[in-house]
Structure 1
């Protein structure tokens, strides 16, 4: 095998592991040892995707596909942001300042700037995919930077770390399923490829994740404290 083939195989293997462990973690009881182990394997798989994705983007530049390379690089950035946030939210749940530290801020800026760059690129080449998906980096980046500036947005919620964790994991799930539906599935079954599948693969997981986020936010919304009744003399 050539170095490029090894790189692609590693990327595919990491993606397959990520898909399997994502649903394993989702199905297991939250906080259980098995859930934590599945989550750790998932984040390690995502790290493998990130590390193999960067050189794949460089290869696309060398091959003369700068737009594809730019988009792949952008996906690596926003995936790195979600992976870091999902991990550190649990590790730093008692230290908001550490959670929103320099790495968090750097990833926020990278997400924001790369999202703006992909939006400009999408407008230039007339790509609805690039224009639409740039919103992920733009929103995630400004949200991270706002939380960095004002940590009271996080500390005002007793379970802030859990909300940050599952929000980031939903974002990571979007990346995992896009890779499978948009890249893996058409290669396995070329007959199902087409324009409809192309856009469904990219935007379908995003819509599902947003719906899941709304449901989880409602489920884990902090309960209102009962108002104390005045004592009767």
Structure 2
């Protein structure tokens, strides 16, 4: 009989594959076009489902009755990487997807993003990131505080945009939208590695070069789209 964890992994892989494939659609299509929106929604929904299932797998790894990957002898490090870090990455993926869609939905009303509905999601990401970073320092694995720091910086930048006093430039939300959804791709690819890498390439599960790949590509895309979409201030009247 298939165990619950294996069932969740199966659906996680299906949802994650949809998100991973659809992710490149918005990158390649004209921004604002119908294909761009269609691929973007597919990517967000796929990643959101995968993130939710990643949270379920993390909780089962931490509190489930079965011991995951018995060959992994350092159980505290296992709890850190495949429990708390996966939980954080799942929440981070959900947070990016939620913010990336909502910042467009409320492009003309930033105050809506200050409601508990959105602030609680950001708070959950921040709390999980802080715990992930602390746990990583405790078990002596630098990967956990590094990925936690990326999420914390992203959440701070989001809050700066949301709570910035006064008016912002009309299309300032576009850069926020791109950064959030590319960040969603980074966190999802990293989470995918944390699940699949140990099964496909167990000897390289802690290779920092492999783990740094999604972040390097994603940060490059963020910088590129930030420059491309940076709103230009209106010239002052004479």
Coarse TM-score class (shorter-chain normalised): 0.7 to 0.9
Q: Which residue of 1 aligns with 2:134?
A: 120
How large is the RMSD of aligned CA atoms in angstroms?
Answer: 2.3
Q: 1:204 pairs with 205, 210, 213, which one?
A: 213
- Give distance in 1, aligned partners of 2:233 and 2:38: 33
Whether contact under 8 Å (1:109, 1:145) holds in the other structure is no
Q: CA deviation at 1:168?
A: 0.4
More divergent stretch after superposition (142-151 vs 159-168): 142-151
- Give distance in 2, aligned partners of 1:166 and 1:183: 26
Whether contact under 8 Å (1:100, 1:147) holds in the other structure is no
Q: Answer with 1 or 2: which has the greater Rg.
A: 1
Equivalent position SS for 1:94: coil
- Give distance in 1, aligned partners of 2:79 and 2:164: 37
Q: CA deviation at 1:183?
A: 4.0
Equivalent position SS for 2:23: helix
Whether contact under 8 Å (2:172, 2:230) holds in the other structure is no
Q: Which residue of 2 aligns with 1:26?
A: 27
Whether contact under 8 Å (1:70, 1:118) holds in the other structure is yes
- Give distance in 1, aligned partners of 2:83 and 2:198: 20
Q: Which residue of 2 aligns with 1:83?
A: 97
Aligned residues: 224
Which 5+ residue runs of structure 1 have no aligned equivalent?
Answer: none
With over 3 angstroms needed to count, the CA separation of the structure-2 counterparts of 1:24 and 1:185, relative to structure 1, is farther
Q: Which residue of 2 aligns with 1:215?
A: 224
Q: Which residue of 1 aligns with 2:70?
A: none
Q: How does 1:154-233 map to 2 (within 5 A)?
A: 155-181=167-193, 183-184=195-196, 187-188=199-200, 190=201, 193-194=203-204, 198-229=207-238
Which 5+ residue runs of structure 2 have no aligned equivalent?
Answer: 68-74
Q: CA deviation at 1:143?
A: 2.8
Q: CA deviation at 1:112?
A: 2.2
Whether contact under 8 Å (2:198, 2:205) holds in the other structure is no
Equivalent position SS for 2:104: helix
Equivalent position SS for 1:106: helix
More divergent stretch after superposition (141-150 vs 24-33): 141-150
Superposition TM-score, scaled by structure 1 size = 0.85
Q: Which residue of 1 aligns with 2:11?
A: 10
- Give distance in 2, aligned partners of 1:18 and 1:216: 20
Q: CA deviation at 1:96?
A: 0.9
Whether contact under 8 Å (2:132, 2:148) holds in the other structure is yes
Equivalent position SS for 1:87: helix
Q: CA deviation at 1:134?
A: 1.4
- Give distance in 2, aligned partners of 1:220 and 1:162: 7
Whether contact under 8 Å (2:103, 2:177) holds in the other structure is yes
Q: CA deviation at 1:77?
A: 1.6
- Between 1 and 2, higher relative CO (CA 8 Å, sep ≥ 6) is seen in 2
